[in-house]
Structure 1
Amino acid sequence: MDMTDKPKLDILLCAPRGFCAGVDRAIQIVDLALKKYGAPVYVRHEIVHNKYVVDGLRAKGAVFVEELDEIPEKDIDAPVIFSAHGVARSVPAEAKARNMFYLDATCPLVTKVHVEAQRHAEDGRDIVLIGHKGHPEVIGTMGQLPPGKISLVETVDDAEAFTPRDPNNLALVTQTTLSVDDTSAIVLVLKSRFPSIAVPHKEDICYATTNRQEAVKKVAPQVDAMIVVGAPNSSNSMRLVEVGERAGCKVSVLVQRAKDIDWTLFEGISSLGISAGASAPEALVEEVIDAFAARFEVNVEIAVTAEENIAFNIPRILRELEVASGHA
């Protein structure tokens, strides 16, 4: 097929998209630990929800486990890293009990939610957590407090049905990767039912989740189809797909890699929006653009809705190495 046969396609690339500071930091921690201590370095749960990233780190010598008891006794001295999603308090306690050396790659914005929940509990409040049941971040946040002190609310219906022990002594925290609009609706119900509920000054949804959703909201109404590069177990990626649909783009789909594209969905389109979840590397976005460029004559434009220049410090024990390897 020569160039003249290709249909024209305008690609609007959402900015910001892809890696956030918390994901960047978590991947750096695994990379630097492998450089400093050598393989194996154990990682409890996928460091971030992206198969491409996990496979890349596995190839360098990272070993992914779901629980600490999967680490064999012979490797008890190997470093173990907690994923960016955060862990329950019982996890570092178990690591200490087994004399393990661990590094915590929990995103600082997730840690902030943990601290908030603990502070409210110390002030005698019961906590309402808005989040998705079973997501590792939710398991980690609920695991900061004794059972019964924290209740999970997933939907507006849950918020309407929720019956607290003491309606006058409640505080609210949220998972960091939720839909901004869905969460606002749930918060409204909780505030109207429990006027004295303590809420964060700004919802706990992180800057990166908010920015990526805003970018999709802007681009989705302007295009025939929308692709979000990301993983199906990535909460923030799945929310971007929903935001695209709600913003008026009926063909809004999640794609892990270029080989996963269902081309029947994109027949006859003349414009395409592309974004990526916070755990999706830019290499995968480029791979998707290349796949479209093979079939269309593409013109790529970047739709900028926000500038991001946030970076988080990595643990001190790895910092000299970071400088040496040029990350700083």
Structure 2
Amino acid sequence: MLQTLPKPPLTLRLCEPRGFCAGVDRAIQIVVLALKKYGAPVYVRHEIVHNRYVVEGLRNLGAVFVKELDQIPDDGKPVVFSAHGVPKSVPAEAQRRELLYLDATCPLVSKVHKQAMLHVKRGRHVLLIGHAGHPEVVGTMGQLAEGTVTLIESEADVAAYEPADREALGFVTQTTLSVDDTAGIVAALQAKFPALAAPSSDSICYATTNRQEAVRVASPEADLFLIVGAPNSSNSMRLVEVAKRAGAKEAVLVQRGAEIPFDRLKGGDVLAMSAGASAPEIIVDEIVDALRERFDLRIELVRTAEETENFPVVRALRETPLEPADMAFVNGAR
């Protein structure tokens, strides 16, 4: 009789909180509810959130993803703006064409828009700390008139920047940045421009901060850190950087269980795992199942915060009920 060899032991440090934040959950709900209320197709400008699994799931339900509004026919169907926010020119064009639009911009991104506009209202030039080309940065800069905002990506940018008026500056940040990197840039700005005005509250969102803190706690002496997320997800990529800085020997981004680098794992290792704010929990479950097939898995939860935030969907959809099956999809199970 063949004997089954015992599986090698593996410790998994599983971070909490992880995965969907309230802004992502709200954005997905908006698309699902729009499909229920208006029927397919529902158009979505850009990826609703940066996750291929979620986008493909919504596409299977009848969502049609477009790059710009000129790809949408005049068929009376609604268009949803992504959670990252859009420049003012986008809803203006939708109104001009009399398109029905539903804005899924995360309320915390909208808060940054308001903070930036308040700086301008008070006569300040806005310094936006963020990454060039990211949809959120494009959307935030698009709230302001040309010449009233400058993008700052690094401390080197701070050193090179010379404003017209050093006494009339204010800053805001992209919501999904590395807390540590942003602190360094802000410190450099404040040292160079002592009159720099800060936003009324922190621009980096609670979910970004919470996920980075859990990763920071779980990283020391971890042999490998898996971050579940997409390469174009800023908050997921920042988690990889945080893990490396905080003491993980290696940190990699994976989108599905098939991407687990098993060649870097051996019995007795400590593996840590978290998920970016747009990664559904079902992918975390998929990875845990794949690990259990090969290892005698011992899970340690690393919980650093409890999230209770809930953002209501846009008013036009609040009377449309979500059935249990809809909620299952919204929570990442399909």
- Give the TM-score normalised by structure 1: 0.96
Correspondences of 1:300-319 after superposition (within 5 Å): 300-319=299-318
Q: SS of the counterpart of 1:110?
A: helix
Between the aligned partners of 1:273 and 1:62, the Cα distance in structure 2 is 34
CA distance in 2, matches of 1:293, 1:159: 48
Q: What's the secondary structure of 2:166's corresponding residue?
A: coil
Matches within 5 A, 1:171-250: 171-250=170-249
Distance 2:252 2:323 in 1: 41
Displacement after TM superposition at 1:60 (Å): 0.2
Equivalent position amino acid for 1:12 in 2:
R
1:33 alignment partner AA: A
Look up the match of 1:163: 162
Q: Distance in 1 between matches of 2:69 and 2:259?
A: 33
Aligned amino acid, residue 5 of structure 1:
P
Shift of 1:203: 2.7
Q: CA RMSD in A?
A: 1.5
> 8 Å contact 1:241–1:253 — kept in the other structure?
yes
Aligned length: 325
Question: What residue identity is the alignment partner of 1:118?
Answer: M
Report if the CA contact (8 A) 2:222-2:249 is conserved. no
| Distance in structure 2 (CA, Å) of the matches to 1:191 and 1:245 | 27
Q: One-letter code of the match for 1:149? A: T
1:291 Cα deviation from its structure 2 partner: 1.0
Q: Which structure 1 residue ranges, 5 or more long, are not aligned?
A: none
- State the Cα distance separating 1:201 from its structure 2 match: 4.3
In the alignment, the residues of structure 2 paired with residue 3 and residue 113 of structure 1 have an alpha-carbon distance, to the nearest angstrom, of 57
Summarize the Cα distance change of 1:181–1:3 in structure 2 as closer, same or farther, 3 Å threshold: farther
Deviations along 1:223-265, whole A, 9 cap, x unmatched?
A: 2111000000000000000000000112111000011222222
Q: Is the 8 A contact 2:11 2:268 kept in 1?
A: no
1:12 CA drift (Å): 1.0
SS of aligned partner of 2:209: helix
Q: Which amino acid aligns with 1:170?
A: L
Deviations 1:1-24, CA, capped at 9 Å, x for gaps:
976431101111100000000000
CA distance in 2, matches of 1:266, 1:81: 42
Give the residue type in structure 2 aligned to 1:224. D
Shift of 1:200: 2.0
The alpha carbon displacement at 1:211 in A equals 0.2
Report the counterpart of residue 97 of structure 1 in structure 2.
Answer: 96
Structure 1: how far apart are the matches of 2:235 and 2:191?
A: 27
Q: Distance in 2 between matches of 1:268 and 1:248?
A: 20
CA shift, 1:269, in A, is: 5.2
> What TM-score do you get using the length of structure 2 for normalisation?
0.94
Distance 2:321 2:22 in 1: 15
SS of 2:219 mapped into structure 1: helix
Q: Provide the rounded CA distance (Å) in 1 between the counterparts of 2:96 and 2:202.
A: 35
The one-letter code matched in structure 1 to 2:143 is Q
Structure 1 position 197, deviation (Å) = 0.8
The aligned residue for residue 273 of structure 1 is 272
Deviation of 1:160 (Å): 1.4
1:68 counterpart residue number = 69
Distance in 2 between the 1:222 and 1:318 partners?
47
What SS class does the counterpart of residue 81 from structure 1 fall into? strand
Instruction: Tell me if structure 2 keeps the 8 A contact 1:225–1:269.
Output: no
- Structure 1 residues 269 and 182: alpha-carbon distance in aligned structure 2, compared to 1, 3 A threshold: farther
Task: Give, in whole Å, the separation in 2 of the partners of 1:67 and 1:317.
Answer: 23
Distance apart, 1:301 and its partner CA: 2.0
Change beyond 3 A, Cα 1:255–1:195: same
Q: Which residue of 1 aligns with 2:332?
A: none
Moved >3 Å (runs of 4+) = 1-4, 322-327
Name the amino acid aligned to 2:13.
L
Gaps (5+ residues) in structure 2?
Answer: 328-334
2:12 paired residue number: 11
CA contact (8 A) 1:46 1:83 kept: yes
